[in-house]
């Protein structure tokens, strides 16, 4: 009985943490409202996440996802950040029922096609409010062709300190965090941020 209690304690803490995180994230995402103009996200000020000197640059945590099936990847294929060494990377954190996430997704797909071979796009789905199947349905609906899959245990969202959805993280060629953007991105701003990675 004592062993059971010891084993359950971390599980309960994890579950409570996930429930609180999902509730906070849902509030952050849905505050934009359906049918309203989505506010343009706020760029993190220089020095907090990016725009630092090389010695102060924050290395992006490595991760691996089991991707959804699309025209570029087989369902269940494992793709990791370290697979794209030497390439700039854009990581988009999203979930299917998030209205701003849905709003920006066509622009992310278009940018991934435009910059294929120069910049890698990765999508990470938050689980909790939506299922893995919801994620696959979303990918099919929007015709996403880049590597995109669920954060199975929530660790990627935690490692990247994501507190609202959508959030996009821009990594330089050394996979240091160059910029972080919270909120929906339009095509013009996304292109500006991608160009910053290519300079």
DSSP 129-153: SS-HHHHHHHHHHHT--SEEEE-TT
Distance in angstroms (rounded) separating the CA atoms of residues 139 and 131 = 13
Look at residue 29 in the predicted model and tell me its pLDDT: 57
Look at residue 156 in the predicted model and tell me its pLDDT: 98
| Residue 156 contacts residue 124 (beta carbons within 8 Å) | yes
Note if the bond before 166 is cis, omega within 30 degrees: yes
Bridging pattern class, strands 89-94 and 120-125: parallel
Distance in angstroms (rounded) separating the CA atoms of residues 110 and 104 = 10
Tell me phi and psi for residue 78, to 5 degrees: -95, 125
79: left (phi over 0), alpha (psi -120 to 50) or beta: beta
Residue whose C-alpha is closest to residue 148's, from 181, 118, 116, 126: 126
pLDDT digits (tens, 9 = 90+) for 121-139: 999 999 999 999 999 999 9
Instruction: Report CA torsion sign: 31, 34, 40, 44.
Output: positive
Domain spanning 2-198, CATH class: alpha beta
Look at residue 40 in the predicted model and tell me its pLDDT: 38
What are the structural domain ranges in the chain? 2-198
Distance in angstroms (rounded) separating the CA atoms of residues 93 and 84 = 18
Mean pLDDT by runs of 10 across the 199 residues of the chain is 42 46 48 35 39 58 97 96 97 97 97 97 97 98 97 96 96 96 96 95
Look at residue 96 in the predicted model and tell me its pLDDT: 97
The helix or strand, by DSSP H or E, that contains position 170, with its residue range, turns out to be strand 167-171
Look at residue 57 in the predicted model and tell me its pLDDT: 76
Tell me phi and psi for residue 159, to 5 degrees: -60, -35
Distance in angstroms (rounded) separating the CA atoms of residues 9 and 92 = 32
| Residue 61 contacts residue 178 (beta carbons within 8 Å) | no
Look at residue 41 in the predicted model and tell me its pLDDT: 43
Look at residue 171 in the predicted model and tell me its pLDDT: 98
């Amino acid at each position: 009985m004592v062993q059971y209690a010891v084993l359950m304690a971390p599980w309960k803490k994890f579950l409570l943490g996930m429930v609180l995180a999902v509730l906070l994230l849902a509030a952050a995402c849905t505050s934009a409202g359906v049918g309203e103009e989505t506010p343009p996200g706020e760029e993190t000020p220089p020095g907090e996440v990016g725009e630092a000197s090389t010695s102060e640059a924050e290395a992006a945590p490595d991760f691996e996802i089991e991707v959804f099936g699309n025209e570029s990847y087989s369902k269940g294929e494992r793709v990791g950040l370290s697979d794209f060494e030497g390439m700039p990377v854009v990581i988009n954190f999203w979930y299917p029922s998030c209205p701003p996430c849905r709003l920006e997704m066509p622009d992310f797909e278009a940018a991934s096609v435009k910059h294929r071979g120069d910049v890698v796009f990765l999508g990470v789905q938050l689980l909790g409010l939506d299922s893995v199947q919801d994620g696959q349905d979303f990918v099919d609906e929007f015709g996403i062709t880049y590597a995109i899959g669920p954060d199975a245990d929530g660790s990627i969202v935690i490692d990247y300190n994501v507190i609202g959805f959508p959030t996009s993280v821009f990594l330089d060629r050394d996979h240091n965090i160059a910029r972080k953007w919270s909120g929906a991105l339009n095509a013009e701003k996304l292109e500006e941020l991608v160009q910053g990675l290519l300079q």
